[in-house]
């Protein structure tokens, strides 16, 4: 069955290193979301795209985070340089906005640990 995939599932890196997280949305979905989940802040929306165009990235620290959709089958979230406070689980979700509702389908997440 169709599902959102994310790679890597786990990433441990050292402070200052670049981190790239990848997401493959469900085929045919026109909207992709990036979320960050921490114990303290809960689930935060970082950015989202519609038809590969960035619609809103106001939740993302601009100085070190960047999100792109090189094509309809790939979304990336990069952190450069990474910091310990970036440690979190990062979720990608996709949906078909415009169909009358906003149901989102979540990937399994990337657990990032920055030492």
Partner 1 sequence: AQSVAQPEDQVNVAEGNPLTVKCTYSVSGNPYLFWYVQYPNRGLQFLLKYITGDNLVKGSYGFEAEFNKSQTSFHLKKPSALVSDSALYFCAVRAFNQAGTALIFGKGTTLSVSS
Contact set with partner 1 (CB under 8 A): 4, 33, 42-43, 45, 48, 50, 55-56, 58, 91, 93, 97, 100-109
Q: Shortest Cβ distance from residue 40 to partner 1 (Å)?
A: 10
CB closer to partner 1 out of 81 and 108: 108
CB closer to partner 1 out of 17 and 102: 102
Q: Shortest Cβ distance from residue 97 to partner 1 (Å)?
A: 7
CB closer to partner 1 out of 81 and 87: 87
Tell me the C-alpha distance between 88 and 85, whole Å: 8
Contact by Cβ (8 Å): 95, 102: yes
Collect all residues with Cβ–Cβ distance below 8 Å to 95 and sequence separation of at least 6.
29, 30, 31, 33, 102, 103, 104, 105
- Total residue length of the chain: 115
């Amino acid at each position: 069955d169709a599902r959102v995939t994310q790679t890597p599932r786990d990433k441990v890196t050292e402070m200052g290193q670049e981190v790239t997280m990848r997401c493959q949305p469900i085929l045919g979905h026109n909207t992709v979301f990036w979320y960050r989940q921490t114990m303290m802040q809960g689930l935060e929306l970082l950015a989202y795209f519609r038809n590969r165009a960035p619609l809103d990235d106001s939740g993302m620290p601009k100085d070190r985070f960047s999100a792109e959709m090189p094509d309809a089958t790939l979304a990336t979230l990069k952190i450069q340089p990474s910091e310990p406070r970036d440690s979190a689980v990062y979720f990608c979700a996709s949906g078909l906005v415009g169909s009358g509702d906003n149901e989102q389908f979540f990937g399994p997440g990337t657990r990032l640990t920055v030492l």
